[in-house]
Amino acid sequence: MKKKRILYYCQSLVGVGHLTCSLRIIDELLQHCEVDLVHGGLDAGAPMQRPGLRSLRLPTLLHDEETGDFFDPEARRGIDEIWAERALAIAGFLRMPYQAIVVEFYPFGRRRFKHEIMAMFGAVRDRSGPVPIFTSVREVLVQRALQNERRMVDSVRKHIHTVFVRGDPEIVRFEETFTLAHEIADRICYTGYISPPPPPTRPLRKKQVLVSQGGGNVGQELLRSAIGAAALLPEYAFVLATGSRTTPPEIEALRQSVRSENVEITPFLHDFPYRLMESAVSISMGGDNTLLDVLTARTPALAYPYQGNSEQGFRIRKFAEKGLLHELRGEDLVPERLKEKIESALRTPYPERTIAVDGARATSDRIAAVLAGSA
């Protein structure tokens, strides 16, 4: 029997977390479907070669957080030209018919890509009929005005079959940051967090502190503080993994600020999960994928939220309340304070609490059931 075909759309703006989650869901979907992935944003360096997967990387549009405008990171083309290139690329990539569409985050985010997303929905509907459309969204949203939430609810009611919430309701409930969740309760499905699979074996822990900036280029202050704390903890090796968008001059400036021999500064780590498992402590920006990597590794963790929005800070506080990590605040980035926080994390017994983390498989299973007519 011919496998069903799913169209998957993922657009990132700052880091690579959305694409990471999408690829984990896709790996599960490929057990019973073919998947065509349309993705945009940063080059995550993630391998796309998988049997049954076709992928299209769209011309890049990035978001300027100061002005709110889009820009071409290569500064070669106008924004209208990039939009046109993207539309042409999508039209040439689509391979009808599709039995379903999965979209990352929309309509709870990426609304400035609405015309692109809706054009894609329309093209599939015209050639494939009224297929179910699923969305996968984080359990914590940046809170919006009520009228914006109303528009999101209206979009869900009009277009979305199921809203897959990546989270454990015992930790965070969707309505805590989306006040109209009760109006779409019949379409919400908590999947659990989307975590990497647990490793078959674990390396021995080292006297090592892993400091990670994440997939974007925010959090330089955390790296600078860790460099200062390293000089106060000479018995520990500090591995500082810069973000994928950190420039060579910025990396060199960090290296010039090092005052102790126990600091290694490296670009984005592709073996991050392994390095995390062998570390005594993790210090990170607390992105949702990083936190799940930390929980899988069972590494004591300090998390300093990205200051550009409230989402990461809210999630970190909820995780800290459950004893799953230790929250860092701005005043903790003085090297002496950070040293104390590291020592406290080392002394604290690792929590026994478990959370739902099999979200990729749960999402795939629910989609398969819908396509089979049993859900």
Q: Give the CATH H-level superfamily of domain 208-347.
A: Glycogen Phosphorylase B; (3.40.50.2000)
| Among the listed residues 266, 320, 328, 330, the one whose alpha carbon sits nearest the alpha carbon of residue 295 | 320
Domain boundaries, the chain: 4-194+357-371, 208-347
Q: Do the two domains 4-194+357-371 and 208-347 of this chain adopt the same fold?
A: yes
Pairing of strands 62-63, 70-71: antiparallel
The pairing of strands 62-63 and 188-190 is unpaired
Instruction: Give the CATH fold of the 4-194+357-371 domain.
Output: Rossmann fold (3.40.50)
Report the DSSP beta bridge partners of residue 165: 137, 190
Question: How many residues in the chain?
Answer: 375
Q: Is the pTM higher than 0.95? A: no
> Which tokens sit at 366?
């629910």
Q: C-alpha distances in angstroms, 166 versus 5, 125, 227, 305?
A: 23, 27, 34, 19
Q: Going edge to edge, which strands form the sheet with 4-11?
A: 53-57, 33-40, 4-11, 100-104, 133-138, 162-166, 188-190
Asked if residue 184 lies in contact with residue 157, where contact means CB atoms within 8 angstroms, the answer is: yes
* pLDDT string in tens for the chain (375-residue length): 678 999 999 998 776 788 989 999 999 999 999 999 999 987 655 667 899 999 999 998 877 767 778 888 777 888 999 999 999 999 999 999 999 999 999 999 999 999 999 999 999 999 999 999 999 999 999 889 999 999 999 999 999 999 999 999 999 999 999 999 999 999 999 999 999 887 888 899 999 999 998 765 567 899 999 999 999 999 999 999 998 778 899 999 999 999 999 999 998 787 888 999 999 999 999 888 888 889 889 999 999 987 666 788 899 999 999 999 999 999 999 999 999 999 999 999 988 888 999 999 999 999 999 999 876
